Structure 1
């Protein structure tokens, strides 16, 4: 390994749990780590436990009244009507005991990753428990109570004076992070997601470019429903390379939702494991090109926790550690151990079969539409570059 990478984890992260039938299930963290262990790709010396974020840290982004409401809700001391005003106790974000502590630990995990990288103890840090990108200043939203990425970016600015490039490849738009820094020219947000015409949160249009001093530092590429690997990867690769060249960050923070996969039950995209190989690979290259390798990766969405998420997230760690042992068969020991609990047949291979789904009838039309969206999204950069070269 040429880079030092750390994996932020403890079993305590599994306490972020709404209920037994909620689609957001952090058990996927355990499945991913066990996959890495059973293929001997990680040892305990590289696992760093998360710390709890302090109230002061949470309030760099979140309203103190909201933090207090989360605390009371977790103690079952918040009236239903008040809770709903804060987005708590809804179908998406039900109240559960100890929710403040569980949520603050997720945030603290991302802050642990920041300190590991910025202090030089590691080049890269992976915190799969984070990536809760829908949390707002005073409201929970879309399974997210506190917004760990927003808090971490603010922390990076205040403690380390860093220019941050935030890259979000979750199928859902990274709305909470975008709005947190919409007027800040020292934070650049790039979100590649399924169009909001059919999917929560309904935002992330091409024309959301930032405001005030932050205008031109927010980039959105909403791809069409049923988008496949090639089109999605072209949009991601082109956008990330051009945006990084334009912004020249000190550090890259990637949110790695694994819900663009064809099997995901909540979204309408048609990606396969191919994209989950390439997404971290290009992020890794960009981190070394512009940031002396400084790269923090967090988790996010991903609701097929058995067939998709462990493979997709394990590939981030394998890329970080430059471990090429991720082709062919998955470890039989992992499959045999977990198949007894899994409600679906576990995949045997790292890659998906070529004939996983019927051909998409509108493939060319979708790809063409995505190409036009990409051009619109990158127009400010491309037109500026063109003007400069004249």
Structure 2
């Protein structure tokens, strides 16, 4: 197996644009790619552009009638059918929507294929992670579910155990739904509690269908959870599950919207904690999946201050060239930020919280603490179904 890392990129992905004023501003993708280059990380990876996902690939997850509805809306946005989640406030139709959505999906599928076939050990598609799209509907800014499609392609290629870990602030509902009845796929989502955030799913009691009990695991974090609690929850849940499941490939989704500056959610996580979880996912892939790691982007709506730095850290970790948090960001990139957005870009690759302290679950827990209650609720609901102690 090659030890190289692969970065999926095609400039055309920036056409995934719901229009002026929509939170999913494609400038976040362009600025991330630019920062990767400004720090020289694009010389440490193999840059690859995959073909758009074709109909046969899209149908691994999505219904044919839905694909046809996306094509119709793509050709004529005025004809978008809200019954398919299209032409809504969250998912406005736009010209070329099918083509660019299929292109993003193709990058994630291509990343999965490269890792499975041994062309790369790690593959990153930060333009992906569109985890809310359902088999028959768009949802939550997501048209085609590239994460689920990548996993489905791995299964089609012969994988028998694929683990999916989602640390976006929103529940990874579309991926969970796609594999609800499939014990070959373990989905783990850490997200803000459904009482306070879209999509109002991801309760600890959601553990998979009868045919796949324990294959879905959900950690519903209290609003306001910060670095120490977020890392504590991740390490209290994810490593033990992966050690038990023994995935052949680890697919992770790294939405940057857990950040304290994100305008659409209510967690208080720093860039430094996000980097720590990215590094932990890398290490877990080596511990439990022979290093096979497909890393995706996701949400993130602080499009200048947070997203480019977070996903650039992800690329650096995957490339084996992790970026020192104290790294000063090149002035050329900050000038590009101002030219594109009229905002001032960040100065360093840290929020000033590195290294992030946190307390391990094994050291004991406080039954009166809301975060510990959330962790314990997940362990009690899901762990016994996998033969693990809560």
Alignment correspondent of 1:31: 31
Q: Which SS does the other structure have where 1:160 is aligned?
A: coil
Distance 1:179 1:207 in 2: 14
Aligned residues: 375
Structure 1 residues 353 and 293, CA, compared in 2 at 3 Å: closer, same or farther? closer
Alignment correspondent of 1:339: 338
* Structure 2: runs of 5+ lacking an equivalent: 354-364
Higher alpha-carbon deviation: 274-283 or 123-132: 274-283
Any conservation in 2 of the 1:16–1:26 contact (CA below 8 Å)? yes
Correspondence for 2:383 among 356, 370, 381: 381
Cα displacement (A) at 1:145? 0.7
Higher alpha-carbon deviation: 15-24 or 170-179: 15-24
Cα displacement (A) at 1:365? 9.5
Cα displacement (A) at 1:265? 0.6
Structure 1 residues 152 and 386, CA, compared in 2 at 3 Å: closer, same or farther? closer
Correspondence for 2:205 among 197, 204, 207: 207
Alignment correspondent of 1:180: 178
Distance 2:200 2:215 in 1: 20
Distance 1:376 1:261 in 2: 24
Where does 1:235-384 land on structure 2 (aligned, <5 Å)?
A: 235-328=233-326, 329-353=328-352, 368-379=369-380, 380-381=382-383, 384=387
Distance 1:196 1:168 in 2: 15
Where does 1:43-62 land on structure 2 (aligned, <5 Å)?
A: 43=43, 46-62=46-62
Q: Deviations over 1:356-389 (max 9, x none)?
A: xxxxxxxx999921112112212342683449xx
Distance 1:68 1:316 in 2: 35
Cα displacement (A) at 1:197? 0.9
Any runs of at least 4 consecutive aligned residues in structure 1 with deviations exceeding 4 A, and if so which? 364-367
Q: Which SS does the other structure have where 1:245 is aligned?
A: helix
Q: TM-score, normalised by structure 1?
A: 0.92
Cα displacement (A) at 1:136? 0.6
Cα displacement (A) at 1:322? 2.1
Distance 2:218 2:106 in 1: 28
Q: Which SS does the other structure have where 1:254 is aligned?
A: strand
Any conservation in 2 of the 1:9–1:47 contact (CA below 8 Å)? yes
